[in-house]
């Protein structure tokens, strides 16, 4: 008698092989997804800092002091000060420390659902991939006013 089909043992062997492949592949895929999320967060943070630098230069040239908190700081919120509508769940601020008038220091406070940075300069963003867990920080634009 010539029966066509697979035996139970053959089907179980295929299921076991597929399970082993998934056990090996899933952590790698999840790691790649985490790296992509970190990269996206870093790129967005750099974009925010670049936009803040442009806005600061424009404010200085036009003598606009709408976002100047005192003689030492400018503070920009993402949507209000920088005009950046968030495509994700980004919340944050950039403040410009004018302690050294020759070289203002731009610091970013940014958070989304996965990561956050607090008081990072552009150089710090470039030199790390170790971002903190997301948290809510106080608005420096409101604190200093």
Residue 69 resides in a domain: yes
Residue 2 resides in a domain: no
Residue 3 resides in a domain: no
Per-residue pLDDT of the chain (145 residues; tens, 9 = 90+): 567 888 999 999 999 999 999 999 999 999 999 889 888 889 999 999 999 999 999 988 999 888 888 778 888 988 888 887 766 688 888 989 888 777 899 999 998 888 888 888 888 888 887 777 777 777 777 754 4
Phi, psi of 77 (to 5 degrees): -90, 160
SS3 132: strand
Residue 75 resides in a domain: yes
Residue 58 resides in a domain: yes
- Residue 105 structural domain: 9-143
Instruction: Give Cβ neighbours of residue 81 (< 8 Å, ≥ 6 apart).
Output: 52, 55, 67, 75, 93, 94, 141
SS3 134: coil
Residue 98 resides in a domain: yes
Whether residue 96 contacts residue 141, with contact meaning beta carbons closer than 8 Å, is answered with no
Residue 53 resides in a domain: yes
Q: What is the pLDDT of residue 86?
A: 64
Q: Specify the pTM.
A: 0.79
DSSP secondary structure of 60-92: HHHT--TTB-SSSEEEEETTTTT----SSS-EE
Residue 64 resides in a domain: yes
């Amino acid at each position: 008698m010539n029966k066509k089909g697979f035996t139970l043992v053959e089907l179980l062997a295929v299921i076991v092989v597929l399970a082993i492949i998934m056990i090996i592949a899933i952590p790698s895929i999840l790691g790649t997804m985490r790296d992509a999320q970190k990269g996206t967060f870093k790129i967005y943070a750099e974009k925010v800092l670049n936009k803040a630098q442009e806005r600061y230069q424009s404010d200085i040239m036009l003598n606009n002091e709408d976002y100047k908190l005192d003689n030492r700081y400018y503070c920009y919120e993402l949507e209000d000060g920088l005009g950046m509508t968030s495509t994700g769940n980004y919340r944050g601020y950039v403040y410009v420390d004018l302690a050294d008038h020759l070289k203002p220091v731009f610091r970013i406070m940014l958070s989304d659902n996965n990561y956050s940075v607090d008081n990072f300069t552009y150089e710090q963003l470039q030199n790390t991939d170790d971002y903190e867990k997301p948290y809510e920080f106080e608005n420096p634009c409101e604190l200093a006013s």
